[in-house]
Amino acid sequence: MISSTATYALRAVVYLAGHPGRYVNRAEISAATQVPHEYLLKVLQQLDVADLVESRRGPGGGYRLRRTADEITALDVVQAVDMIPRIATCPLGITSHEQLCPLHQLLDNASRLVEQAFGQTAIADLMPGKRSRTCDFPRRNLTP
């Protein structure tokens, strides 16, 4: 449904949301989210370019969210590093431009619904404690 890069970005942003206002170093984020350290650097750089996180070098530095977890959507994060896949050509090879074939329409509708769901979901909604049960990821507590 979404790429590993987008999943890693969501993990990192949810983790940072659990530490509002605090700069968190990359090693801590990597360990808590199980995102490879070097790959996390690439993801965090993309999130920084998209103005979702900010970074600070030196002692006490690291990364933090630029906005609150209520102001950032899952779609914002995914689109910062990747796109939700859309079908550009008919999977059956039909070249009519009048309307999509039923299979193409189904796939396009599914992608649109995923995009809508991500767009309507704030990062705050993804944080542990928002639901009565959560999975065991990340293995560390996300609260400050």
Q: What count of other Cβ atoms lies within 10 Å of the Cβ of residue 50?
A: 15
Mention the CATH class of domain 4-84+122-126. Answer: mainly alpha
98-142 per-position pLDDT tens digit: 777 888 888 888 989 999 999 999 999 999 875 544 566 555 554
Residue 86: closest CA among 115, 108, 103? 108
Tell me the pLDDT band of 144, cut-offs 50, 70 and 90. very low
Q: What is the pTM of this model?
A: 0.82
How many Cα atoms occupy the beta-carbon half-sphere of 110 within 13 Å? 11
Chain-centroid distance of CA 70 in Å reads 14
Cross-strand bridge partners of residue 122: 73
Domain limits of the chain? 4-84+122-126
Cross-strand bridge partners of residue 56: 62
- How high is the pLDDT of residue 141? 52
Q: What count of other Cβ atoms lies within 10 Å of the Cβ of residue 44?
A: 25
- How high is the pLDDT of residue 137? 57
